[in-house]
Amino acid sequence: MSVHSSVKKNSTNFYGIVIDIKRKVKRGPIMSTLAPDKKIINFQADRGLVDKAKLILEQQNTTMSKAFNLFLKNIVVTKELNLLTEDELEKEQLFKQLQAEAQASYASFEKGDYYTDDELKERYGL
**Domain extent listing, the chain:** 2-78, 86-124
- Tell me the pTM: 0.49
Q: Are 1 and 21 in contact (CB under 8 A)?
A: yes
Q: Residue 76: pLDDT band by 50, 70, 90 thresholds? A: very high
Centroid of chain to Cα 69: 14
> Is the four-CA dihedral 40, 43, 46, 52 of positive or negative sign?
negative
How does residue 104 score in pLDDT terms, banded at 50, 70 and 90?
very high
> With the C-alpha atoms ordered 85, 90, 94, 96, is the resulting torsion angle positive or negative?
positive
Position 41: which residue type?
I
Q: For residue 16, what pLDDT band results from cuts at 50, 70 and 90?
A: low
Predicted confidence at residue 40, as pLDDT, reads 72
119 — pLDDT class (breaks 50, 70, 90) = confident
Using only the alpha carbons of the chain, give its radius of gyration.
Answer: 24
Query: pLDDT confidence of 11, banded at 50, 70, 90?
Result: very low
Over the chain, what is the mean pLDDT? 79
